[in-house]
Structure 1
Amino acid sequence: MEAVTQFFIDWGYWGLFISALVAGSILPFSSEAVMVVLVGMGLDPVWCLVAASAGNTLGGMTCYWIGTLGRSEWITRLGITTRQLARARKFLAGRGALMGFFAFLPTIGEALAIVLGLMRSNPWITALSMLAGKTLRYAVILATFQGALSIF
């Protein structure tokens, strides 16, 4: 894992973008660590924020597109009734795409993106709300890191 992280660090902003894309998809990875190391090495925090947010949003949208490949019949085989599925669709139809904001959450974020794809939420609103949530998360991480550095 250390060699992979080092590879992304060596590639700078592009490495951060790719690591964030991987982390936003269904593959586990910590793009936050790559971002913190790159900022610590002197790269511009704003460009790091842009690269990480864009990559992670694109990774999250891969989960969304995976969800669009699913079928409602597959979900009912997992024990979810058609009534429950209809209620979920009704819930998401009104504000579902905005729930993409919470795709930044570890573990459940990917599942949320897949369900949004399964429910065919508006892809543009989903992507924009995902971008907002993921950007906010990376900004908080950067602010925390910058604040921790000022202590030393």
Structure 2
Amino acid sequence: MPATSTGGNHQEDAGPPLAPPASSRPEVDNPQAKLRQLYREAADNYAAVDSYIVRLRRRELVNGRDKPEETLLAKFRKQPFSVYFKWLSKEGAGRELIFVKGHYDDKMHMLLAAGDMPLVSGGKRMALAPDSMLVRSSSRHSIYEAGI
């Protein structure tokens, strides 16, 4: 007499084993998990950093005009938020900027380079608010966006 199926779950009826769903796979096989882990490690390492110094090359498009490439020495500190720039390239040579949030009237203090302002020689000191029109006309970015 032929065997009949009773609807039970028999080993011979199960078929090949299925792969586990993507969410239960080990993180090693999941590229997004690898990326998240890398981000967590970078964030943890950065949390331990109070300040850092970098050499920065930048070129901006401001008001539809290309600005020349500049090379700067940049120093950043988290607390209190502080930024220091010194222009190293021919473009802007001699210019320096320092800003410390909550200090010195919350202004950016600058040492101008030759040609920064008409009729003003290089080496003149100025203090400007970060949102002043003169500052915003020379960069698309606020001083508060500086750093990582």
Length-normalised TM-score, structure 2: 0.24
- The structure richer in strand per residue is 2
Length-normalised TM-score, structure 1: 0.24
Q: Return the structure number with greater relative CO, CA threshold 8 A, min gap 6.
A: 1
Radius of gyration: which is bigger?
2
